[in-house]
Structure 1
Amino acid sequence: MEHRYLGNSGLKISEITYGNWLTHGSQVENDTASKCVHAALDAGISTFDTADVYANTVAEQVLGDALKGQRRESLEIFTKVYFPTGPKGHNDTGLSRKHMMESIDGSLRRLGTDYVDLYQAHRYDYETPLEETMQAFADIVRAGKALYIGVSEWNADQLRAAHHLAKDLGIQLVSNQPQYNMLWRVIEERVVPTSKELGISQIVWSPIAQGALTGKYKPGQPVPAGSRATDEDGGGAESIRSRYLHDDKLTAVANLEPIAAELGITMAQLAIAWVLANDNVATALVGASRPEQIASNAEAAGVTLDTGVLSRIDDVLGDLPETDPNKTQSPATRLT
């Protein structure tokens, strides 16, 4: 497993991060989830990402239980705050000082740790002054409950404003966590250049386009039974179908298979290696419902795609990837 620095900091994280968004506490049994975490550790993954909203806080508990007995100093544990949790009351969401201060304590308790390495704003909160949010982050860092701060799905202007406040407060904003893959490239025009300027890395989620880049979805054919595109209960099925499962895109994905075969890697490994080829990407988030999935995907670490391969991929995909920077956005109002 290779490691990279996270933003302009001295923190190293594994090129592959294990994330438990759609699995722990919901889609897989706790025993299987624990086996997946241990498979990640066996593969050399040291970085683990979760959020309080995943399975309404249960995912954090499952991850914390699975990591019990591990040397804490050898791990990098990330979590997030913003979305509604608990009974979803009027203050159980957003980036207010009240919600953030209560949420970090709950997350630490469920994860079974005194601190998280990275505490992330899961979305931008248009209803709370950014100054209030950043001051809460600063107090959380100074209390030793988080070492670094990050955000998720913030646009370039929001990153710049937050970075300025963080610098004034003496804390480090080191990361952004956007969706990014061969077919979804909305961060490339504005977010990535701004992040490079500010010393912010990308922690990318959905590097395999929620399974669309694995080749398992075929043009003109029904989606496979039991796949994420059939999971209407929290699996993001509608998003997958509307964003990726179009015959022109699936045909192009099928045309990538010879490239993966020539390199001797799987389609999933090709997709993960592609996002890691972007030097502003610190790590690719991968999940798993079976231990063997994480072991296979972790092998993408260290795979180098030369400029010739990257050009061939671009030629195959043509103008199919989404590149509109305006599609990097947070909800206009808080979800309840």
Structure 2
Amino acid sequence: MADERPLPRFQPRRQLGRTGFTATVVGIGDLADRSVPLERCVATLHRAMDAGLNLIDTAPGYEEGYSEEIVGEALRHGRREGMFIIDKVDFLDQPVAPQVEQSLRRLRLEAVDLFVFHNVSKLDTWAQLAAPGGGLEELERCVRQGKARFRGISSHHPDVLRAALESGRCDVVMFPVGPFVHPRYVEEILPLAKAKGVGTVSFKTFGAGKLLGDTEGYGRPLQARPRGKVSSGGSEASAPTLPHLGVEECVHYTLTLDPDVALLGMSFANEQDAALAAAASFRPLTPAQLADVRQRAVRAMEDKGAVWWNP
């Protein structure tokens, strides 16, 4: 059973670009762990939905389809209405329609709200997708067939995002917004998307977990953990030595920058408690506070492996 402690309640606050859907300020990020039984994962997802969150993100590559199965089960029995479901096309060099069909079967849905091409992070990949007869035409055909309402991309490169936005062929774009991201995402891509009426859904608020803990990303242990500090008595300290940020300051930082929706990972009840309490207590940070969080984020990222979302 998911934790029964009450969560803050969230109300829809803004239209997601030109989709016409009014979304909550935070969305439900990837929720899948094959070590956790399906019914428990579904209960955890229902807990977030019961708190009012109305946007869910999934992908076939999240635990090899398990995430889609969880989402599909959670949406049964009248829970689909009022929810905005994002799914992804993972294999960018393969036909799109079969991937869409497979995802819909795992979800047990006839359609989702948005399909995006997943992790389009090279310009030549975007060019191939957008070329005549390319994957984007296939996805647009799926939209016309009623298998999705909208289309877009997720990307870890500002050049790709700019090209996609300038094309006019994306309804929503997904990209990093948080204390440790390249400034172009915030200074260039976010305002350009808003100017063009394209919805913005952000991720990497916690820097793949690196900002909160000692990890190379998404729970992977550090390959070479820095040695502990030497205490005044000469013995090596056993506590973690790398600097961290807190959940609240990461969430407040992202929400201050104001994407339409910030995706937050909430696979477990304790993660929901922390993330949603932080969102509920949000007050915009001042420029000085933003600068302070950025500076400390740089230190919190040191010695924690590659930062693949920054060009």
Using a 3 Å threshold, how does the CA distance of structure 1 residues 328 and 307 change in structure 2: closer, same or farther? Answer: closer
SS at 2:18 equivalent: coil
CA distance in structure 2 between the partners assigned to 1:295 and 1:42 by the alignment: 13
Match of 1:182 in 2: 179
User: What does residue 237 of structure 1 align with?
Assistant: 220
**Deviation for aligned residue 1:283:** 1.2
Q: CA deviation at 1:68?
A: 1.5
Aligned to 1:146: 148
Query: Which position in structure 1 is the counterpart of 2:115?
Result: 119
Query: 2:79: which partner in 1?
Result: 71
Per the alignment, residue 268 of structure 2 pairs with 290
Once the 2 structures are TM-superposed, how far is the Cα of residue 66 of structure 1 from its aligned partner? 2.3
In 2, the alpha carbon distance for the partners of 1:11 and 1:130 equals: 25
Q: Normalised by the size of structure 1, how large is the TM-score? A: 0.70
Verify: 1:311 aligned to 2:288, yes or no.
yes
Structure-2 change in CA distance of 1:313 and 1:24 (3 Å): same
CA separation of 1:71 and 1:31: change in aligned 2, threshold 3 A? closer
- Which residues in structure 2 correspond to 1:54-133 (within 5 Å)? 54-82=62-90, 93-96=91-94, 98=95, 100-124=96-120, 126=124, 128-131=128-131, 132-133=134-135
Confirm or deny that 1:272 pairs with 2:251: yes
Q: 1:37 to 1:268 in 2, by over 3 A?
A: same
Which secondary structure state, in structure 2, belongs to the residue aligned with residue 53 of structure 1?
A: coil
Counterpart among 6, 22, 47 of residue 16 in structure 2: 6
Q: 2:109 & 2:180 partners in 1: Cα distance?
A: 37
Taking a change above 3 Å as real, the CA distance of residues 35 and 161 of structure 1, as seen in their structure-2 partners, is same
SS at match of 1:45: coil
CA contact 1:152–1:177 (8 Å) conserved in 2 = yes
For 1:237, give the aligned amino acid. Answer: R
Q: Deviations over 1:108-161 (max 9, x none)?
A: 111121111111110227353422122112111111111111211154443344
RMSD of equivalent CA atoms: 3.2
Distance in 2 between the 1:286 and 1:77 partners? 15
Deviation, 1:174, is 2.5
Which ranges of structure 2 fall in alignment gaps of 5 or more residues? 1-9, 230-240, 302-307
1:319 shift after superposition: 7.8
Provide the secondary structure at the position in 2 that maps to 1:108. Answer: helix
Between the two proteins, what is the percent identity of the paired residues?
A: 24
Secondary structure, counterpart of 1:299 in structure 2:
helix
CA distance in 1, matches of 2:129, 2:267: 39
Aligned partner of 2:193 in structure 1 is: 195
Change (3 A) 1:288 1:156: closer
On the 8 A contact 1:32/1:290 being kept in 2, the answer is no
SS in 2 for 1:148: strand
Matches of 2:52 and 2:274, distance apart in 1: 12
Q: Are the counterparts in 2 of residues 179 and 207 from structure 1 also a CA contact under 8 Å?
A: yes
Alpha-carbon distance between aligned partners in 1 of 2:223 and 2:15, rounded to the nearest angstrom: 35
Q: 1:298 to 1:205 in 2, by over 3 A?
A: same
Q: 1:277 and 1:241 mapped to 2: Cα distance?
A: 34
CA deviation profile, 1:233-268 (whole Å, cap 9, x unmatched): xx4627x889xxxx9x954x46xxxxxxxxxxxx32
TM-score normalised by length of structure 2: 0.75
Contact 1:153–1:328 under 8 Å retained in 2: no
Count of equivalent residues? 273
Q: Which runs of 5+ in 1 are unaligned?
A: 83-92, 168-172, 218-222, 224-228, 255-266, 330-336
Partners in 2 of 1:116 and 1:130 — Cα distance? 22
Residue aligning to 1:259: none
The answer to whether the 8 Å contact 1:6/1:282 transfers is yes
State the shift of 1:25 in Å. Answer: 4.4
Q: How many angstroms apart in 2 are the aligned matches of 1:276 and 1:16?
A: 9
CA deviation after TM superposition for structure 1 residue 305, in Å: 2.5
